[in-house]
Amino acid sequence: MTPIFNESNEAIQELPAELQEALKCYDNSRTDSDLDAVIFAVLKDLGPNSISAEISDETNFIKDLGLDSLAITEFVFFFEDVFRIRITNEELSEMNSLGELKAFLKGKLS
């Protein structure tokens, strides 16, 4: 499988160290737990400052994290870039919680 962490990929350059590290780990292992770490690092990078490790699979993006639909499209744009996938509007409308996002990405990347 094509490595995700490619230094020449402009979408990856300049990312915070934690996120770069998570992407490298996921590249090597391709495990679900390392994918979870990537998702958490992305939320931390693009989400509200208050985000913490406390969030669970039940955490709702809009109700619990205070994100708006525009912020969610930013996550999606980012995931499309780094994982080289496409996420349709229909798929997007079914991803309301962290657990649903994780399950969707796992399915898409398997």
Partner 1 sequence: MSSRTVVTGLGFITCIGNDQAEVLDSLRGLKSGIREEVFLGNPNLTVKAVGKPLDFEVDSANWRKWKVPQDYFIDSSLKRSLSPHGIYAVCALEQALGDAGLSKEELKDGETGLYCASAGSPLLLHENLTVLRKAKGERGNPLGVLCSIAGTLNFNLGSWLGIRGTNCGFVSACTSGSHAIGYGWDDIALGRQKRAIVIGAEDATAESLLPFSAMRALSTNSDVKRASRPFDRDRDGFVGAGGATVVILEEEGFARRRGAKIYAEVAGWAQVNDGYHRASPHPEGEGLAETMRKALKAAGICPDEIDHICAHATSTPAGDKAESHAIGEVFKGCLDDISVSSPKGLTGHSLSMAGVLELAICCLMLERGFSLGNANLENVDPVCEHLRLPRKSEETVLTWILNNSSGFGGINVCNVLKRYEHR
Residues that bind partner 1 (CB under 8 A): 10, 13-15, 45-46, 48-49, 70-71, 73-74, 76-77, 80, 86
What are the backbone dihedrals phi and psi of residue 4, each rounded to the nearest 5 degrees, phi first?
Answer: -80, -40
Q: What's the gap between Cα 27 and its chain centre?
A: 14
Answer yes or no: are the C-beta atoms of 64 and 42 closer than 8 Å: no
DSSP H/E element including 34: helix 32-46
Nearer to partner 1, 2 or 50 (CB): 50
Q: How far is the CB of 2 from partner 1 (least distance, A)?
A: 18
Q: How far is the CB of 28 from partner 1 (least distance, A)?
A: 24
Nearer to partner 1, 49 or 52 (CB): 49
Nearer to partner 1, 55 or 85 (CB): 85
Q: How far is the CB of 32 from partner 1 (least distance, A)?
A: 26
Q: What's the gap between Cα 16 and its chain centre?
A: 14
